[in-house]
Structure formats: structure tokens, C-alpha cells
Chain A
């Protein structure tokens, strides 16, 4: 049995396989309408999420399967003090596969150790969010046509932004990739992520506090939200939340073929006027996410058409 806890649980070849299946689903969704007939996905969301949960549920429904679950800890037995291990042991008897989001880092790994069915990490605190990375990778594949020789700018909260860490891990495996890290001093990329996935692999990188100065060098601009829920201190959040706002003015400094990605939800870090720019692909990114989740569910359940 396989789980997806960290994006590195999948080899480059397995990622290619998932992308090929997602491409095929995009081409002919009808072919996949009954692949998961009589299978059940449990979505255990201990932390609120609209996009990820709905994306998982839509993915399973589009494969002909069914879904059950909860969307916040207060509506589950966790509110009564039940451990993750116990919940998972029980839900393993109700579902064929589990997608889990938890505010505490490492909770999906605990779940994987007690589950009798595959576990998908749908986000654990500020740690990993591998299925967002799958969405990001399919977006890059479709919008840029390649994974190698790309200059990727990551902007905003690089400290707590788990999607940023996972994307760096995944993209650091491709040749000719360069990272541009754009953040305020307080939200810089954690040193271990930088060391392990950038410095140790001798990947060129630039660190900047100014988006304007570097935007013209990028093939991809990955924007992130400064997340209130990751701060223990309200004052720090208020001080940093408006650090970088992407406007149509800033977009004029960017290349014609640069793409703008965002894991969403956005608050105000991308002005809505940018939405009409063909280079803005964050809404398409969410659809790619659903396709990759469909491909992933099939892979973990070992189902083929």
C-alpha cells in the first residue's frame, strides 16, 4: 500500500505517469467516469479548506466514486479528544482511501502508520501540501511545456508557505532550474529547505526583498498569501500581510511569456485587475489540481482504465 505524505514519495517517473493520466483525463473525461465505482474517499479535514476538500470530492465523484468526511475538527470526534490514530483506524473500515488535512505537522504520517487504506496528505500545518504541488506541476507542464531550464520566482511567505517548500523540492530535481526567492526578512525560506534542496544540489538562486527588481527575469512567478493562521502574534501578521501586491503595473515589467501561479485562496496579494491578463493562470491551476487528484486516487487504489 502506498501513501502520499511528501511530494518526494513520488519518483520523477511516477510524476510523469500521473501527468500522462491527467492529460488523458483532460482529453477524454468520459472514459474515467466509472473507474472508482463502489469506492469511497474519506475527506478528513481538521482545518477548514474550501478548495482542496472540494477538489478531492469533485475528483472522486468524477471517477464514479463516493465521498464522506468532515470539514472541521469541531464536527469530528477530535473535539472530544480522540487521537488521529484512533480516528484513522476507524475510518479505515469505512473508506477505501483517505485524504487528510490537519493543522499539526506530521499528522498525516501518524495517520499512515495506523491506516489500513492509503493516506493522502492534503496539507499538514506549514509543512507539506503535496497535492497542491501536483496541481502546480501539471500547470507548469501545460503552460510552459517543460520542467527544466526554468527560472522560478517564489514570492511572499516563504517561511510558512508549505506549497513553496514542496514546489522547491519537486522542481529541484530538474536540470537547469533557478530559484528567485522574494520575501520580507521575517518570512524568508527556512534555512534547512534552502540548504537541502537548493544549496546542496548546487542550484543557482537569488534572494531579494524587491519583486520589481527581479520580476523581469522570471519564467514563472509563484505568488503566496501571508497566512494569518500561521502566526502566533497578530501584530506580526498585520505588519507583513501587505508586503507584496502584484498589480497590472508590476506585470508590465514581466516577460510576455511569464506565468503567474498562486495556490489560492488569495486575499489581496494579486490585484483582481491582473486576472484578465492571459499570463495569470491561477484559476486554471485549480482545474489542473482536480485532474491530478483524480490521477493520484487511481494510482493509490491501483486502478486503471
Chain B
């Protein structure tokens, strides 16, 4: 399958296969007016299979979200069909207002104004916990 190269915009490459749609939703790409392509299960020498997202305009990508969903992903900035910058993501120490705590006993479930905050508690397992109730973040990775 072939999708045209973009002129000016962003390519999020090396997304773990199956995580593309989740990343699309969490980055809020559904709200963009420009063309956005999600390529699922593209062949990859390094990963076997990968997902790719191509965004046909410049968009301020939240690297914390990319790293949280798929730490191996790279964010490439494209200008005049040339990759001018490759941003490697790193697992963030803190996730602020990116995911919500699912524990029905957590204070954040009743007081909506409170900042949703998670801290990285286990880098190896990529495990985050709610700072208020210590509940582990649920992610479909």
C-alpha cells in the first residue's frame, strides 16, 4: 500500500503495531482539518510490524503522549518533503492531564477541576500511578 509523501507536516514513525489509533485519539488528531493518514501494520525491518501517522500540516505534537503510548516512536518534522528534524521521545516522569484515573474511589472522579497527574513508578514496566490514590494507569498497549 502506498500513501503519498507529505510536503510540510509531521510523520510519527515506529509506533508499536496496534497503537496508532490510540495515539490518534489521545493526540486529538480527529480535530484537525488537514489530511491525516494512519497506516497500520506496515512492514518494518526493526519491529516486524509498525504503525505510522502522517499529518499534512505542522502540529504541536505532545511528545509525552507519544512516548507514553509507544516509547519507540519517532516524530519527524517534514519541510518541503525533506525530514529536517527527528525527535526521539523519552518516557516522561510525569503525565499531566493526559490520562484519567479509573479508580472510582479517587478524589479526581468527583472533583473534575483537579489536575490528573500520574508519576512513572517503574520505568522497565512503563508503569504509571495516580499521584492521589496510587492506582496503576490502565492503558491498552
Contacts and interface: CB of A to CB of B under 8 A. Distances in A.
Contacts of B111: 83-85, 110
Contacts of A103: 105
A105 B105 contact: yes
B110 A106 contact: no
Interface in A167-225: 192
Interface string A93-114: 0000000001111110110000
B132 interface: yes
Contacts of B106: 104-106
B132 A106 contact: yes
Interface of A is mostly: mixed
Interface bin, chain A: 10 to 19
Residue with the greatest number of chain B CB neighbours at <10 A, chosen from A85, A106, A109, A124: A106
Contacts of B131: 106, 109
Contacts of A106: 106-108, 130-133
Given A84-B107, A105-B103, A110-B114, A127 B133 contact: yes
A155 to B, nearest CB: 23
Interface in B82-141: 103, 105-111, 113-114, 129-136
Interface in A145-176: none
A127 B108 CA distance: 14
Contacts of B103: 105
Contacts of A104: 105-107, 109-110
Interface in A21-75: none
A104 B106 CA distance: 5
A289 interface: no
A126 B105 contact: yes
Contacts of A102: 107
Residue with the greatest number of chain A CB neighbours at <10 A, chosen from B105, B106, B110, B129: B105
Contacts of B109: 104
A111 B41 CA distance: 46
A125 interface: yes
A183 B94 CA distance: 35
Contacts of B107: 84, 102, 104-107, 109-110, 124
Contacts of A85: 111, 113-114
Given A102-B107, A109-B131, 11 more contacts: A83-B111, A83-B113, A85-B114, A104-B107, A105-B105, A105-B132, A105-B135, A106-B133, A109-B107, A109-B132, A125-B133
9 contacts: A105-B105, A105-B107, A105-B132, A105-B134, A105-B135, A106-B131, A107-B107, A124-B107, A126-B105
